[in-house]
Every structure is written in C-alpha cells, then in structure tokens.
Chain A
C-alpha cells in the first residue's frame, strides 16, 4: 500500500473507531465504556498491531487535530449563552478557576519533584488539568511535548471522571455549583461530560469553569514557567 492510501486508511480507522465508540456508549451506559476511554484505546491498538508508521498515521489525521483551533473559538458561544449565570456568581466562579489552576499546577509540580520523572514527562504534566486545545497551546511554555501532553490531559480527564463520585460522597460535597466547578477545573471535558450526567446545572458550570481555566492557563503559562524554572 502506498503512503497516501495508508494515510486515508488511518483517517478512516480513526473516524470509524470514534463513531463506533459513541454508538456503543449510547447503547451501554457504563463508565468504562465511555468514548474517551474506548476510542483512543481501540485506535491505538489497531495502529500498533498493524505496525503503521506514525508519520503515515499523521499524514491525513493531522487535519482532525487542526480542528482544535476552531473548537477553541467555539467556546465563545457557551460563555455568551451563560452570561447571566456568570454575572450571578462571579466570585465563586473566579475562585474555582484560580483554585483549579493553582492546585493543578502545584500538585503536578510537587509530584514530579517527588518522583523524579524524566523532563519530557514532567514538563508535559504541568498543564494536564486544562482542556486539550488550551493545554497544547500552553505546554510549549513549560517545555512540554504536545503529543505527551495530549495523552496526559486525556488520562487526567479519565481519572477525574472515575474518582469524582466516591470523593464527593466521602467529602460531603453537596452543592451542585461546587461539584460542577471542581469537575470542570480538575477534569476538563471529561469532567464536564460527567457533570452533565449528574445534572444540567452542574454541566453548565463545569463547562464554564473548564473554558475559563483553559484561557487562564494559556495566558499565565509563560509567567508560571518562569517561576518553575
């Protein structure tokens, strides 16, 4: 098979894997069958088992990755739509964003110091708690690698989605705004999806927190990178 055909084949695998995993989740609503877990794992296994070279894989699928920029711009709509909610609780939301941002950075930094991970990983870890399009923009400030960052961000989302409910129960967090903000700030898109399952209000708050934390991360990353190094 020549390279161009192989590239198209990879694009087809990616699209098929993604839409199949979404269809699966619509039928079987189990946490571990969420598309965020199934789709990347299935596609990764396929690519590895077929021994496809990564440059061939990227030849067409990089158009998909390029859609992250317009997707970032699209976040303007939820901000505009929920302007009323933002005006109602400005303090709570800003505290959530600041807390999430600082705790995310501090926890990553502290743990990489304790475990002495190699620099590629520890630098890519810094931005892990914000949504992928923002994280990929911000990671270069810390010297992180976009691909590793994307994977660590995804893992963070999955972890947050899995641990949130037992944690909320243990810690007696009841108000929906606290649940929403915490999920959005710590587990970005996956957290927002989870929050949406808990309730509509939680979902909206989680998405807003996720967007604002992402923007704040992109804007402040150069400053924090200077502090860390």
Chain B
C-alpha cells in the first residue's frame, strides 16, 4: 500500500515536471517563431530554436537535466503530432485513388536507391575513416589505444580479427 502511494506520488511529480517542461518548450518555440517572422528569416523558427537550444546546452547555460524529460517525450511521441496532417489527406482522396499505385511503385524504387546508395558510400568511407583513426591512435599511444580500438570494433561490429574470434567461440563450443 505504502509502495503504491509512493509510486503514485512519483508519477504525479513526474507528470507535473513533464507538463512544465513541455510548456516551456512550446513557449520557446512560439518565441522563435515570432523572432523568425520579425527578422524575415528564411530559416524557420523551429530550426532557429534548435540551434539556440543546442548553443545554450553547449555553453552550459541550461543543464541537460532541465530539458531531457520534455525532449525525450516530444521526440518519442512524434508520430502523434503528425497524424492530423496525414488524416487531412482525405481532402485529396480522388487524386490518391487515381495515382496511388504509381506513387507507391515509384517510392519503392526511389527508397531502394537512397537506402543502398547511402549505405554503400558510408560503408566505404567509414572503413577508411576508421583505419585512419586506428593509425593515428597507434602512433600516439600503442598500449592504451589497442584496448579502445578493440572496444570500438566490438561496438561498431566491424569484421575484424577480434570480433571474428568472439563470434567463433559459440561454434567452437558446439563442436567441442
């Protein structure tokens, strides 16, 4: 019972903090919007706000803790915020019925291009950038760097001798 009451109190506190922080975010977004229209900025207010908040965080003018609750919630529930515009497409029902099939085929092809193109390019460059990092680190501090390299390789799941050996272990165990 006591535990339940405690939990409830915690939840209420959490909810209050969340509402407070989200309102602060809304107010800030509104101010940025006004600023953007006032200075006739070609950059929308929300992106100005993003840059300002990032600057405030980087300069340690506001602590990370004071925005993290609302930021996590806003990003987590992003889908909810764009459902209304999506539902509004019923205004264009006729258009979509007519071109729906072409549209989806087109988008499938286009998305395949973007996905594969980006993945290939990044894969190639990443191997290069990673190698350069390795060389630089080994030149600086051979003993210490080997551990960090192993760690990054593990995290980024690169096909390296180190990660290969860990992958083999279960198979070897089975064989044994």
Could you list which residues of chain B lie within 8 angstroms of chain A, going by C-beta atoms? 22, 25-26, 28-29, 32-33, 42-47, 49-51, 53-54, 57-58, 64, 67-68, 70-72, 74-75, 78-92, 95, 99, 102-104, 106-123, 125-127, 129, 133, 155-159
Q: Which residue of A lies closest to B32 (CB)?
A: A73
| CB neighbours of A74 from chain B (8 A) | 25, 67, 70-72, 74-75
Q: Which residues of B contact A40 (CB under 8 A)?
A: 83, 86-87
Shortest CB–CB separation between residue B129 and chain A, in angstroms?
5
Asked whether, in the complex, the Cβ of B118 is within 8 Å of the Cβ of A99, the reply is yes
Residues of A close to B43: CB separation below 8 A? 218-219
SS class of chain B's interface: helix, strand, loop or mixed?
helix
List chain B residues, Cβ under 8 A from A115: 102, 106
Inter-chain contact A69/B45, CB cutoff 8 Å: yes
Within 8 A of B (CB), among A143-192: 145-148, 150-156, 159-160, 163-164, 167-168, 171, 173-179, 181-183, 185-187, 189
Q: Is the CB of A73 within 8 A of B29?
A: yes
List residues of chain A with CB within 8 A of the CB of B106. Answer: 111-112, 115, 117, 125
CA distance A146 to B47 in the complex (A): 17
Contact B57 A80 (CB under 8 A): yes
Q: Once the chains bind, are B47 and A215 in contact (CB under 8 Å)?
A: yes
CB contact between B46 and one of A110, A137, A146, A167 (< 8 Å): that residue: A137
CB distance from B107 to the nearest CB of A (A): 6
Q: Which residues of B contact A131 (CB under 8 A)?
A: 78
Task: Select one of B79, B85, B126 contacting A178, CB under 8 A.
Answer: B126
Quote the shortest CB–CB distance from A170 to chain B (angstroms): 9
On chain B, the residues within 8 Å of A58 by CB distance are 84, 88
> Which B residue sits closest to A191, measured CB to CB?
B115
Q: Which residues of A contact B111 (CB under 8 A)?
A: 107, 129, 156, 159-160, 163, 186-187
| Contact of A72 with B119 in the complex, beta carbons under 8 Å | no
Contact, CB under 8 Å: B119 / A171: yes
Cα A186 to Cα B115 in complex, Å, equals 6
Give me 22 A-to-B residue pairs in the complex whose CB atoms sit less than 8 angstroms apart, sorted by A's number: A14-B80, A15-B80, A40-B86, A54-B87, A62-B84, A67-B26, A69-B49, A70-B70, A71-B74, A72-B49, A73-B49, A74-B71, A75-B50, A99-B118, A99-B122, A111-B107, A120-B95, A167-B115, A174-B158, A175-B156, A176-B155, A222-B42
Asked whether, in the complex, the Cβ of A64 is within 8 Å of the Cβ of B74, the reply is no
Distance between A119 CB and nearest chain B CB, rounded to angstroms: 11
Among candidates B50, B103, B122, residue contacting A96 with C-beta atoms closer than 8 Å: B122
Of the residues B45, B90, B110, contact of A54 by C-beta under 8 Å: B90
**A1 proximal to B (CB < 8 A):** no
A17 to B86, CA, bound (A): 14
